[in-house]
Structure 1
Amino acid sequence: MKKTIILFLTVCASAITYVSCSSNDSVVQQTDVTAVGASVAIDAANEMDISTGLLVTTPTGSTGKTTESATAGTCATITVSPTTDTYPKIFTVDFGTTGCTTNQLTRKGKLKITLSGPVTTTGSKMTIERIDYSINEIKLEGTIEYTNTTTVPTVPQWTRKVTNGKLTNVLGQVFTNSGMHTVRQTAGVDTPFLLDDNVYEMIDGSHTVTSEKGGTLTLTVQETLVKKYSCSFVSKGKLKVQGGFLNGVIDFGNNDCDNKYTYTHENGTVFELMM
């Protein structure tokens, strides 16, 4: 049995406020599945912010220099301090108080990105802090730490740690979150100044989302997640979902660059979803 639920993270501001379905299935009647949508939205936002961090901190061209002001791929204004090749280096990505829109995403506020060293160097850390920041009126708080843990030069690897994460949707519902994942790069290693051919795999880890009512949902990597830099969302892989009445699997599909995924409950009910 399949149900269709549309979240529209990138189109509709109220996308993750709730999901519903006209059905007598017990999973719909007994379970507030808002946390599933919030969890996927949180992960998608984290990926977007890391992609922005990589975009503005990656040197361009043969000079190996980063540049100030507007950067291709984002409508924000970028400033860098210091401008010399010394670290730590702080990048401020300012989307403005009224926001600016790219690819149907309106972002407001700032991302403060601190590099302890080049993100491609083992041991270096990229820390992303959100300051009065929102995506399509969905407020996001917390810190992302992206630390290079590479041991094999041909397979770059990072840990992604989220602390004090908080999502507030347009209805004022609050979801706190935290988690740790391992990410490795499987394509694009030979073109360090080009991001569009990069492919990343999230090979393990989990994150926990807690609603304001105290309900907790844990999502654990069951099958490696695949994220192409050129795609806005994860395109392949599975997450195990556990918490409250929810016990099932999120499946991101067959590596297509789209916003579709499914949630399959333990009773066999399949929900077709879109971000």
Structure 2
Amino acid sequence: MKNLNRFFILGLAVSSFFFLSCEKETVEEVAVDQDLLSANAQIDFSNELDFSTGLDVSAENNSYSSKTGSTEKYFPQCATVTVDDATPGVFPKVFTVDFGAGCLSNGINRSGIITITLTNYLANSGCVMTIERSNYYVNGRKIEGTVVYENITSNPQVPKWTRTVSNGQLTTLTGAIFTFSGTRTVQQTAGVNTLTLGDNIYEVLSGNHTVNRPNGTSLTVTIVTPLIKKYACNYISQGQLNLQGTFLDGILDYGDTTCDNQATYTHSNGAIYNVSL
């Protein structure tokens, strides 16, 4: 009987070891999930931020539309903007936006250079806006790649663009590298008939993005409900994304239109994780 008890205790100890090992393994996978979650949110944030930069540059240099623009200044005063040809109505125009070694505005610190090329007035159907990054950092994270917006507006009251990202790369504060690419459709839903940008609201309607990391884990991102981006807010404030990847299977929710840098991810098993930009 004593020997039988010993075998029972030994078996229980071995079972407990494997159970704890599985528990530990699950925790490690969640950490990987959070890395991908954070990277995806930072990528979306940077892409939306650079679109706002394109709006700023075009509005301040009478290149948004052929209508007389507002004299309101939108762009961070610590950035330097130059243009290859300032002649009104002449395109293409190439704007160089230099944030220097650091430009802090509205709580966001940027450095490096982005180049913005317009083939026509940004509001005109057929216009292409190309955004290129050079040694460019947002809040200490290096962002690379080219973003192309093509104006596909059919109704002047609802301006619309396709956005294609290629050769995208994010380097995090810890040195981790993520590559990304994809295409989405963006439309303006408010502020179309005013001369200021402050009341503009944009919806990211549809499209897919992929995010990959060097160790092989990947993520496919699909819009479930349109993402809401107010010009007056630095962050996406509403909308949902479906995340499917090596360790991810759930919904990223950007909230209820509150302007903040928070989102929540709900995994398929019901676990909820907070995501901060």
Give the TM-score, by structure 1 length. Answer: 0.85
Q: Pick from 181, 189, 193 the counterpart of residue 190 of structure 1.
A: 193
Deviations 1:3-49 (A, max 9, x none): xxxxxxxxxxxxxxxxxxxxx59754324120110011001001001
Q: How many residues align?
A: 247
Report SS of the residue matched to 1:155. Answer: coil
Q: Which amino acid aligns with 1:73?
A: F
8 Å contact from structure 1 (residues 87, 115) kept in 2: yes
Residue in structure 1 matched with residue 41 of structure 2 by the alignment? 40
Structure 1 unaligned runs (5+)? Answer: 1-23
8 Å contact from structure 1 (residues 60, 66) kept in 2: no
Q: CA deviation at 1:273?
A: 2.5
Residue in structure 1 matched with residue 91 of structure 2 by the alignment? 87
8 Å contact from structure 1 (residues 27, 245) kept in 2: no
Higher RCO (CA 8 Å, separation ≥ 6 residues): 1
Report SS of the residue matched to 1:145. Answer: strand
> How large is the Cα RMSD of the aligned pairs?
2.0
CA distance in 1, matches of 2:213, 2:29: 16
CA distance in 1, matches of 2:26, 2:163: 32
Identity of counterpart residues, as a percentage?
45
Shift of the 218–63 alpha-carbon distance from structure 1 to 2, 3 Å rule, reads closer
Report SS of the residue matched to 1:235. Answer: strand
Residue in structure 2 matched with residue 4 of structure 1 by the alignment? none
Q: Which amino acid aligns with 2:113?
A: K
The reply to whether residue 220 of structure 1 matches residue 219 of structure 2 is no
Report SS of the residue matched to 2:44. Answer: helix
8 Å contact from structure 1 (residues 264, 271) kept in 2: yes
Q: Which amino acid aligns with 1:233?
A: Y
Structure 2 unaligned runs (5+)? Answer: 1-22
Residue in structure 1 matched with residue 234 of structure 2 by the alignment? 232
Give the TM-score, by structure 2 length. Answer: 0.84
Residue in structure 2 matched with residue 262 of structure 1 by the alignment? 264
Higher strand share goes to which structure? 1
- What are the equivalent positions in structure 2 for 1:1-275 lying under 5 Å apart? 28-31=27-30, 32-33=32-33, 34-59=35-60, 64=68, 72-74=74-76, 75-85=78-88, 86-96=90-100, 98-191=101-194, 193-275=195-277
